[in-house]
């Protein structure tokens, strides 16, 4: 596929720059270059890889305002949101891996039973896949590209990334920042285009695909990757629940709901998209939400909480969910007000689960609120969803809140906080159900970009092993006795005495440092047998 893509400002719809669409041949060339670079990079010690990549921290800090401005223009975010949601998580993750990656990826010895594996050592190591394809979305193009990209590089892979066609200036920015590091040629590359380009990238057969986006696109990526087959990590959408009990700090919970539902104009996979409030405080809490929503500042002025919609195509979904809710009996704090790209936030209450806004991902600044009567009902309502990404529970009774959180079908949860848990670099992040599978962040996330190789080394001087040929009825009885000795019931002496004759076949099999123990056991058995 050939052609061009013109990037458009999310602030004023003006054309920014035109980018050529990568051809199939160019993608193939990029893959070949990435494989060459991966072969070099994987041989570099992880501590050295981290040292080289950690320099990105100072590169970003030196150009912080310029980086912020590029992201603002491409996404429509307000500048504080850029710092909090795009830049800080990347720096935090980079610092975490700087301090922990070598330990996380270190070879791991495994205990070997001395009788079953005499004079043997066992363990496993983690190896990079090779080339990782990162396909990232438009809502957090800096963070959701750079975080998996750095994770792939630190674990020893090369990376080819494809950003949303709405975010190409951010992709150009990333390549400029990374070019200031001393990395092998071809280690990091970008391809540009639409969905077809993503398909061609997968068809070029990377060794792992990391995809962030919607469920429909995620299914398409998975189906495409399965044709080769290539393993995938999918970080998909959410319909995150907020459960507010009457004994919660309601003022804190209301402020958290504003941030959790409306930050980045609701264009967040872990945004609060369902709010369940205990009946005893429902009316009071709804009033608090209505008042708070009216005071959320929209725009890019000196004071601004919400920026614009990154793409106006999303407004069609938001409007459909809003109208469906009102048609089915919900009440709204205000009409939908779209001014240019700026959409004012709305609280909806008296919603039910037969409304689209409680079933489908909205990805916009709407907060639906529903009452619940009991703890079990709150759990049931929260779990009544095809999604399972994140959730929050609000109560001064921490034991109760954690008990409820432990019953939620999600990959992540927080008590008396919202979204912030996703920014913890040491916590693995990912979902269940239609929210995807696989993890990134934390030790588990880093390991997900590697595969495990297990090995065993024997130093036995014996010429034979009891499990080797020839087999016979005698050998069967010997192995049967060995199994009873290892796994059977009764004390150690009983199991030795009961299988003594059969265990004689394993005398030479015992490791040299156990032969003295075997001799001592023989003496003990002999003395007891004649005693």
* Residue 439 domain-assigned (yes or no): no
Same structural domain for residues 205 and 247? no
CATH of the domain at 21: 3.40.605.10
CA triple 114-117-122, angle to 5 deg? 100
Same structural domain for residues 226 and 248? no
**What 3-state DSSP class applies to 343?**
strand
**What does the pLDDT read at residue 516?**
44
Per cent of the chain over pLDDT 70 is: 95
Please give the residue that has the higher pLDDT: either 65 or 527.
Answer: 65
Asked if residue 387 lies in contact with residue 359, where contact means CB atoms within 8 angstroms, the answer is: no
Q: Which domain holds residue 348?
A: 240-421
**What does the pLDDT read at residue 528?**
58
Residue 527 has pLDDT above 80, yes or no: no
| Residue among 159, 269, 275, 281 flagged as catalytic | 269
Q: Quick: pLDDT tens for 136-192.
A: 999 999 999 999 999 999 999 999 999 999 999 999 999 999 999 999 999 999 999
Backbone Cα Rg of the chain: 29
Using CA atoms, how far apart are residues 228 and 516, in angstroms rounded to an integer?
55
CATH of the domain at 255: 3.40.309.10
Question: What's the whole-number average pLDDT of the chain?
Answer: 94
Residue 121 has pLDDT above 70, yes or no: yes
Annotate 78-113 with b (16+ C-beta within 10 A) or e (fewer).
beebbebbbbebbbbbbebbbebbbebbeeeeeebe
Does residue 229 have a cis peptide bond before it, meaning omega lies within 30 degrees of 0? yes
**What does the pLDDT read at residue 257?**
98
Same structural domain for residues 216 and 93? yes
Residue 427 Cα distances to 144, 156, 439, 443, 487, angstroms: 16, 21, 10, 8, 38
**What does the pLDDT read at residue 512?**
43
* Residue 466 domain-assigned (yes or no): no
Output helix, strand, coil percentages for the chain, rounded to the nearest 5: 45, 20, 35
* Residue 467 domain-assigned (yes or no): no
Same structural domain for residues 230 and 244? no
Lowest mean pLDDT of 24-28, 172-176, 461-465, name the range: 461-465
**What does the pLDDT read at residue 392?**
98
Nearest to 408 by CA among 436, 387, 430: 387
Using CA atoms, how far apart are residues 245 and 276, in angstroms rounded to an integer?
9
Give the pairing of strands 338-339 and 342-343.
Answer: antiparallel
State yes or no: is 235 an active-site residue.
yes
Give the pairing of strands 346-349 and 131-135.
Answer: unpaired
Same structural domain for residues 255 and 312? yes
Nearest to 515 by CA among 235, 153, 114, 69: 114
DSSP 8-state symbol, 358: G
Determine the average pLDDT of the residues in 252-273.
Answer: 98
Same structural domain for residues 218 and 303? no
Both structure tokens of 48: 């050295």
Residue 376 has pLDDT above 70, yes or no: yes
**What 3-state DSSP class applies to 513?**
helix
Does residue 253 have a cis peptide bond before it, meaning omega lies within 30 degrees of 0? no
Q: Mean pLDDT: which of 278-292, 468-482, 514-528 is highest?
A: 278-292
Same structural domain for residues 218 and 232? yes
Determine the average pLDDT of the residues in 302-328.
Answer: 96
How many domains are contained in the chain?
A: 3
- Phi first, then psi, for residue 108 (nearest 5°) are -120, 115
* Residue 289 domain-assigned (yes or no): yes
**What does the pLDDT read at residue 529?**
54
Same structural domain for residues 62 and 11? yes
Contacts of 65 (CB under 8 A, 6+ apart): none
Same structural domain for residues 71 and 186? yes
Q: Can you count the helices (H) and strands (E) in the chain?
A: 20, 22
Give the pairing of strands 366-372 and 346-349.
Answer: parallel
Both structure tokens of 33: 């270059």
| Residue among 235, 273, 278, 361 flagged as catalytic | 235
Nearest to 530 by CA among 505, 503, 497, 506: 497
Determine the average pLDDT of the residues in 44-69.
Answer: 98
**What does the pLDDT read at residue 405?**
98
Residue 514 has pLDDT above 60, yes or no: no
* Residue 188 domain-assigned (yes or no): yes
Same structural domain for residues 146 and 250? no
The confidence band for 345, taking pLDDT boundaries of 50, 70 and 90, is very high
**What does the pLDDT read at residue 511?**
46
* Residue 465 domain-assigned (yes or no): no
**What does the pLDDT read at residue 525?**
59
Determine the average pLDDT of the residues in 308-331.
Answer: 98
Q: Quick: pLDDT tens for 444-460.
A: 999 999 999 999 999 88
**What does the pLDDT read at residue 513?**
45
* Residue 430 domain-assigned (yes or no): no
Q: Where are the beta strands (DSSP E) in 344-425?
A: 346-349, 366-372, 387-388, 391-394, 414-415
Same structural domain for residues 245 and 220? no
Residue 435 has pLDDT above 70, yes or no: yes
Residue 504 has pLDDT above 90, yes or no: no
**What does the pLDDT read at residue 342?**
97
Using CA atoms, how far apart are residues 181 and 185, in angstroms rounded to an integer?
11
**What does the pLDDT read at residue 498?**
92
* Residue 460 domain-assigned (yes or no): no
- Phi first, then psi, for residue 441 (nearest 5°) are 80, 155
Q: Quick: pLDDT tens for 166-177.
A: 999 999 999 999
Using CA atoms, how far apart are residues 191 and 183, in angstroms rounded to an integer?
18
**What does the pLDDT read at residue 521?**
56
Same structural domain for residues 232 and 244? no
State yes or no: is 275 an active-site residue.
no
Asked if residue 4 lies in contact with residue 21, where contact means CB atoms within 8 angstroms, the answer is: yes
What is the model's pTM?
A: 0.93
Both structure tokens of 498: 């009961």
Element (H, E) at 17: strand 15-20
The confidence band for 463, taking pLDDT boundaries of 50, 70 and 90, is confident
């Amino acid at each position: 596929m050939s052609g061009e893509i013109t990037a458009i400002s999310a602030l004023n719809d003006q054309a920014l720059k035109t980018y050529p669409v990568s051809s199939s041949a160019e993608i193939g060339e990029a893959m070949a270059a990435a494989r060459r670079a991966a072969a070099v990079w994987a041989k570099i010690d992880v501590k050295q890889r981290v040292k080289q990549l950690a320099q990105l921290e100072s590169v970003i800090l030196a150009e912080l305002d310029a980086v912020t401005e590029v992201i603002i223009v491409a996404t429509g975010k307000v500048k504080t949101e850029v710092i909090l949601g795009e830049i800080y998580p990347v720096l935090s993750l980079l610092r975490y891996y700087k301090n922990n990656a070598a330990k996380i990826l270190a070879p791991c010895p495994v205990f070997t039973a001395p009788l079953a594996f005499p004079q043997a050592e066992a363990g496993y190591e983690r190896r990079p896949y090779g080339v990782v394809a990162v396909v990232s979305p438009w809502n957090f193009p800096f963070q959701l590209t750079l975080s998996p990209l750095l994770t792939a590089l630190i674990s020893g892979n090369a990376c080819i990334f494809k950003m949303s066609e709405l975010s190409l200036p951010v992709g150009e920015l990333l390549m400029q920042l990374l070019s200031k590091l001393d990395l092998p040629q071809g280690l990091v590359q970008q391809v540009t285009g639409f969905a077809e380009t993503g398909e061609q990238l997968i068809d070029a057969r990377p060794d792992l695909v990391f995809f962030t986006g919607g469920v429909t696109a995620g299914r398409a990526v998975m189906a495409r990757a399965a044709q080769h087959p290539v393993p995938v990590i999918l970080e998909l959408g959410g319909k995150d629940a907020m459960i507010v009990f009457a004994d919660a700090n309601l003022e804190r919970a209301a402020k958290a709901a504003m941030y959790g539902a409306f930050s980045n104009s609701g264009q967040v996979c872990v945004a609060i998209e369902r709010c369940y409030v205990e009946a005893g405080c429902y009316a009071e809490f709804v009033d608090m939400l209505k008042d708070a929503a009216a005071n959320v500042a929209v725009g890019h002025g000196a004071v601004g909480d919400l920026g614009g919609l990154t793409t106006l195509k999303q407004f069609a979904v938001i409007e459909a969910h809003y109208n469906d809710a009102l048609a089915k009996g919900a009440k709204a704090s205000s009409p939908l007000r779209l001014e240019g790209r700026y959409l004012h936030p709305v609280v909806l209450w008296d919603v039910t689960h037969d409304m689209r806004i409680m079933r489908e991902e909205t990805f916009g600044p709407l907060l639906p609120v529903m009452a619940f009567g009991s703890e079990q009902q709150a759990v049931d309502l929260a779990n009544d969803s095809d999604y399972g990404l994140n959730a929050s529970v609000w109560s001064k009774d921490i034991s109760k809140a954690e008990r409820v959180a432990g019953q939620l079908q999600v990959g992540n949860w927080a008590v008396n906080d919202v979204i912030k848990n996703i920014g913890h670099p040491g916590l693995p992040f990912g979902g269940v159900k239609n929210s995807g599978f696989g993890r990134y962040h934390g030790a588990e996330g880093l390991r997900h970009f590697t595969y495990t190789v297990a090995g065993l080394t024997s130093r036995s001087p014996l010429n034979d092993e009891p499990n080797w040929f020839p087999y016979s009825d005698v050998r069967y009885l010997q192995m049967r006795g060995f199994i009873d000795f290892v796994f059977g019931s009764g004390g150690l002496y009983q199991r030795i005495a009961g299988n003594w004759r059969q265990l004689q076949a394993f005398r030479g099999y015992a490791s040299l440092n156990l032969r003295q123990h075997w001799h001592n056991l023989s003496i003990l058995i002999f003395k007891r047998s004649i005693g």
